[in-house]
Structure 1
């Protein structure tokens, strides 16, 4: 959910430790990373539309199991797109924070996240407030709290179902900013950050202290850390410490994914994911980002991937709740087949994402970044 513009990364000799000078002009773009972000977003959308129960049943008029008798099991793995996002985020945040002062890092993150987020919160609230829409809108007070992106720790109902992932992202940004960006990024400092966070997350799991859970996020830390390790690999593919970080992060990450999503013992589960299937999807996220870090997907340099990357974040924000509304209209009101409804809903949400990118992000993001860089 962040910008992908980067420097080229050939095999580099060891850099001197300590803060680095300002980065050189960024010359090319990892377009394959843009494409992977869209793949992860479509995975999550498939899960929300056909891989779970809950409110989507009201939209379809029956369980998604009946709408997609075979595919619903595969769609149920789509929730792991979030873990893929977190690995990508670790890579991108380390990349964007390297050699950048704290003020610039904060301005970049805030201006990237907030404009589309504010627009999505207001749009979903407005649609859910329509008389013909059957879903409950939040109170004005709760909507205002949602504008801060702090509704999760404050215990306020969410306007956007996916915003819990943004709360995890924000905590990662804060940890990285305090431990790496503020003192100045260096290879040694990043390695110590990864090692320290891994150990702190493990201790947190054993301590059963809610405050530590909030700060160190043991369930999700390994994905962010793995992405950071992969950026070190991008800088120097011979870095043994970087590969060690990636390997340990995968081993821990697959454990948490299986622990939280393997539901074989629940006879009433919507779909029974296998532990092997969960491990393979987590491995896909790590391997795909590793392939990009190593330059193996440099050939995937199509311009349309840049557009795909730009649409991913607004699509991710609006696709779930507004998708419910579109599915109901297309399937129950107009009687379109399930497969056609599924495809058209994705198309409508991607079109809406393009509008948000074109008329909200393109206009507000540079202005907010400039204002924050001037005033902080």
Structure 2
């Protein structure tokens, strides 16, 4: 990797990686988890289940990509700009998809799923379990971890640590992650400092640092450490899967898959000039967020309904196609317009609020 001459606005290969990660999770849910966990799907897919089980690692790939993209987004921005950009990026799509899921499940979800308005209201916060309610869809757990990561980056930008002490901060984060995952085992620390998945976020940040500022021995060593640590933390999920499903990816295969994911991110950055940005790549990347949020519970209901009519395979693949189309439509006709409007409105509101705060501070100092 080398120092880039100027900041790019868009790397098409990362959007293709996002799509691959989202599709991996969809495959995991439709072809493995749906039948393996509580019988959400009436019929399973044993012929492909042993391959589909690897799809859950798409979430880990998402975290790798997120580390890169968030470091990129934070570069040259102050904390207000970063926080506003992240809110605008996440909340409109979340609100839309969560509301659609609520309407569909409330209408046709019984007896497979039960739902209430209290659950919907709690999910408006994106932190439903904090209010004693379950997520509208189980996939939302990873969005919470993303938000925690964004919160720490915002704090690091506010204090200036991100700009001046990024590598030292990552070293401390990796050290805490190792201590908690292998020795302490605190659930509170795991949630607050995302120690289980921290090495993936950290690796993404480090790949961006090397991409933007050039190779250094410290950055390369930290990247190697984050990879090695992530090889250990993926076993935590493996243990959970063994308890939940009685089946899990073997440890050697997890290490190979983990190496492949890190290589995919690095290759995606290195090969960025070979995939030119286009309306297609932008759309493929844009639809991944609504696809991730929408596909699980609604997909289970759709496959169960269509299976007896067209067969389980046609139902599953038809559902994938439907979810891709609906997700694209949400991105194109809801997310993008609302994001543009919100960015303009929030930008003005933040500017006015900060100006008033500065005037009040100056008057108090006189």
Is the pair's TM-score, using the shorter chain for normalization, greater than 0.5? yes
| Residue aligning to 1:246 | 223
TM-score when normalising by structure 1? 0.85
RMSD of aligned Cα (Å): 2.4
Q: Aligned match of 1:79 in 56, 72, 76? A: 56
Distance (whole Å) between structure 1 residues aligned to residue 85 and residue 13 of structure 2 = 22
- Give the superposition deviation at 1:246: 1.5
Q: Aligned match of 2:290 in 305, 314, 318? A: 314
Distance (whole Å) between structure 2 residues aligned to residue 145 and residue 264 of structure 1 = 28
Is 2:28 the partner of 1:47?
yes
Distance (whole Å) between structure 2 residues aligned to residue 59 and residue 29 of structure 1 = 38
Distance 1:42 1:276, change over 3 A: same
Distance 1:228 1:338, change over 3 A: same
Distance 1:57 1:202, change over 3 A: closer
Distance (whole Å) between structure 1 residues aligned to residue 35 and residue 113 of structure 2 = 14
Matches within 5 A, 1:208-247: 208-247=185-224
Report Cα offsets for 1:180-204 as digits up to 9, x if no partner.
3541643x52111211211222333
* Paired residues of 1:219 and 1:256 also in contact (CA < 8 A): yes
Distance (whole Å) between structure 2 residues aligned to residue 298 and residue 230 of structure 1 = 17
Is 2:306 the partner of 1:330?
yes
| Residue aligning to 1:199 | 175
Distance (whole Å) between structure 1 residues aligned to residue 125 and residue 306 of structure 2 = 33
- Give the superposition deviation at 1:53: 4.7
| Residue aligning to 1:33 | 14
| Residue aligning to 1:369 | 343
* Paired residues of 1:222 and 1:252 also in contact (CA < 8 A): yes
Matches within 5 A, 1:1-376: 10-11=2-3, 27-53=8-34, 58=39, 60-62=41-43, 64=44, 68-131=45-108, 133-180=110-157, 182-183=159-160, 185-186=162-163, 188-205=164-181, 206-261=183-238, 269=245, 271-293=247-269, 295-301=270-276, 303=278, 304-332=280-308, 334=309, 336-376=310-350
Higher mean C-alpha deviation, range 161-170 or range 251-260: 251-260
Distance (whole Å) between structure 1 residues aligned to residue 318 and residue 246 of structure 2 = 24
* Paired residues of 2:34 and 2:40 also in contact (CA < 8 A): no
- Secondary structure at the counterpart of residue 165 of structure 2: helix
* Paired residues of 2:10 and 2:277 also in contact (CA < 8 A): no
Stretches of structure 1 lacking an aligned partner (at least 5 in a row): 1-8, 14-23
Stretches of structure 2 lacking an aligned partner (at least 5 in a row): 351-366
Higher helix share: 2
Distance (whole Å) between structure 2 residues aligned to residue 279 and residue 155 of structure 1 = 36
Moved over 6 A (4+): 263-266
* Paired residues of 1:32 and 1:297 also in contact (CA < 8 A): yes
Higher mean C-alpha deviation, range 255-264 or range 150-159: 255-264
- Give the superposition deviation at 1:54: 5.4
Distance 1:263 1:118, change over 3 A: closer
